[in-house]
A and B are shown apart, each in its own frame.
Chain A
């Protein structure tokens, strides 16, 4: 079981460019969550998706950020026109069902640096 796979591990973008972060959940998991970790802070919830559906995006900035989890392929977190404040580690987690008792399994994160 390969666990939650995120790529790229490191991404450098200039201001105004687009960043795309990918997440493949654990085998058998159909629920994906994205979290952001700013330097020296804890993780902050961004969005929760199931296959082809956004369930909860209350933590996602209203502009420039979007997420999808298509029927086939990984979940994508897309940040358009990046700014320096977007520099952070972005973590993906997955779970097999909606139950609150189920533990979220995290990936190793993608570190975005905006120059």
Chain B
């Protein structure tokens, strides 16, 4: 079974600075999908960014980018120019490839709470 580990329960960053959230995972599959979700106080789960394991290029979405290290099974999220609205819980998630019995499931880490200070 796949596992996702987020070793930083809380992180803090000053406004306009850069912060990196860590995520490692364990899998025996060679093809899979990785996601970062944001959960603000409203509890809505919002997709931040996704990465297909077969793509070597790191995904980017505006101020958000990932450092995907497949051999190390590491998938960190970098937030540049942090804003107050970035304060939230951030969850890393893993999804198996299509046509497998577990493809429907996202496996989540336990989350990192990000605080943004002035």
Interface residues, chain A, with chain B CB atoms under 8 Å away: 31, 33, 35, 40-45, 48, 55-56, 59, 89, 91, 93, 98-101, 103-109, 111
B15 at the interface (CB under 8 A from A): no
Contacts of B4 on A, CB cut-off 8 Å?
Answer: 42
Quick one: given A100-B97, A100-B98, are A45 and B45 in contact (CB under 8 Å)? Answer: no
A98, B104: Cα distance in complex, Å: 7
In the complex, the answer to whether A91 meets B45 with C-beta atoms within 8 Å is: yes
6 A-B pairs with least C-beta separation: A42-B108, A106-B45, A48-B104, A100-B98, A45-B105, A43-B108
Interface residues, chain B, with chain A CB atoms under 8 Å away: 4, 32-33, 35, 37, 42-47, 50, 52, 91, 93, 95-98, 101-111
Most chain B Cβ neighbours within 10 Å, of A33, A44, A106? A106
Q: Which residue of A lies closest to B113 (CB)?
A: A40
Q: Which residue of B lies closest to A99 (CB)?
A: B98
Minimum C-beta distance from B37 to chain A (A): 8
Contacts of B42 on A, CB cut-off 8 Å?
Answer: 108
In the complex, the answer to whether A44 meets B98 with C-beta atoms within 8 Å is: no
In the complex, the answer to whether A56 meets B95 with C-beta atoms within 8 Å is: no
Can you report 24 A-B residue pairs in the complex whose CB atoms are below 8 A from each other? A33-B106, A42-B91, A42-B109, A43-B91, A45-B106, A55-B104, A56-B101, A59-B105, A91-B45, A93-B45, A98-B98, A98-B104, A100-B32, A100-B33, A100-B95, A100-B98, A103-B35, A103-B50, A104-B106, A106-B37, A106-B44, A108-B42, A109-B44, A109-B45
